[in-house]
């Protein structure tokens, strides 16, 4: 999707990606190519992407070693990485942080999330039953918690220190739903532009 002549190429690792996520990147001038879940990194690199998007999707990230191993290799590329929902959990697992099945998952609209970087709160749309282990995150010097859920204090966003890699648990592309978090796509595109220049 997008203009083939675009200067920004984003490889999308598809674990159940939503079309509006692709639209949000295309609207910002990106040329996106969607790769099936088990595509090798060697094959993806033929596209010569400037950044990688790790998609949302259903289910438990724990048995997805193929995705975690690919993401570990992607992180060695030192190129911008953005994950949403399942992609957020996979980024955690690729950095040796476990995930767990939540007693009550987060479903639907109007979930309040605080951005710890800006201090602002966002109303978000969510649909997940697994979360990132908070105790392991507290001990991880190479990771930073960027967003927390204001209802239950669960982890809603992380970034990898020293790398242009970040993720959120919720859906910033929500349609229908709140648009409070669309800025995350802008941040991803800016990371790519900064690295390209």
19 contacts: CB under 8 Å, gap ≥ 6: none
Question: Any catalytic annotation for residue 135?
Answer: no
- Angle at 92 (CA atoms; ends 89, 94), nearest 5 degrees: 110
Straight-line distance from the first to the last Cα atom of the chain, in angstroms, rounded to the nearest whole number: 23
DSSP 3-state of 79: coil
Tokens of 173: 């592309």
Three-state DSSP string of 15-60:
CCCCHHHHHHHHCCCEEEEEEECCCCHHHHHCCCCCEEEECCCCCC
Question: Any catalytic annotation for residue 173?
Answer: yes
Query: Which one is catalytic: 85, 106, 122, 147?
Result: 85
Q: What are residue 45's phi and psi, to 5 degrees? A: -65, -20
Other beta carbons within 10 angstroms of residue 141's beta carbon come to 6
Query: Which residue matches tokens 């190129």?
Result: 79
Query: Which one is catalytic: 50, 111, 147, 173?
Result: 173
Question: Any catalytic annotation for residue 187?
Answer: no
Chain centroid to Cα 45, Å, comes to 19
> Among all residues, which ones are annotated catalytic?
85, 171, 173
């Amino acid at each position: 999707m997008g203009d083939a002549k675009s200067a920004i190429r984003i490889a999308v690792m598809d674990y159940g990606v939503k079309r509006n996520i692709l639209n949000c990147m295309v609207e910002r001038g990106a040329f996106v190519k969607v790769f099936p879940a088990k595509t090798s990194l060697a094959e993806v690199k033929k596209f010569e992407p400037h950044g990688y998007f790790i998609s949302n999707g259903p289910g438990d990230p724990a048995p997805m070693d193929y995705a975690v191993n690919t993401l570990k290799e992607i992180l060695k590329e030192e190129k911008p990485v953005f994950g949403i929902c399942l992609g957020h959990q996979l980024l955690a697992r690729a950095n040796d942080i476990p995930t767990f099945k939540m007693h009550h998952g987060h479903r639907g609209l109007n979930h309040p999330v605080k951005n710890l970087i800006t201090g602002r709160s966002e109303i978000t749309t969510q649909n997940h039953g697994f979360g990132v282990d908070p105790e392991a995150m507290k001990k991880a010097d190479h990771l930073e918690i960027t967003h927390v859920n204001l209802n239950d204090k669960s982890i809603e966003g992380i970034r990898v220190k020293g790398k242009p890699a970040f993720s959120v648990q919720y859906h910033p592309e929500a349609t229908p739903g709140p648009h409070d978090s669309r800025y995350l796509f802008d941040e991803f595109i800016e990371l790519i532009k900064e690295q390209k220049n």
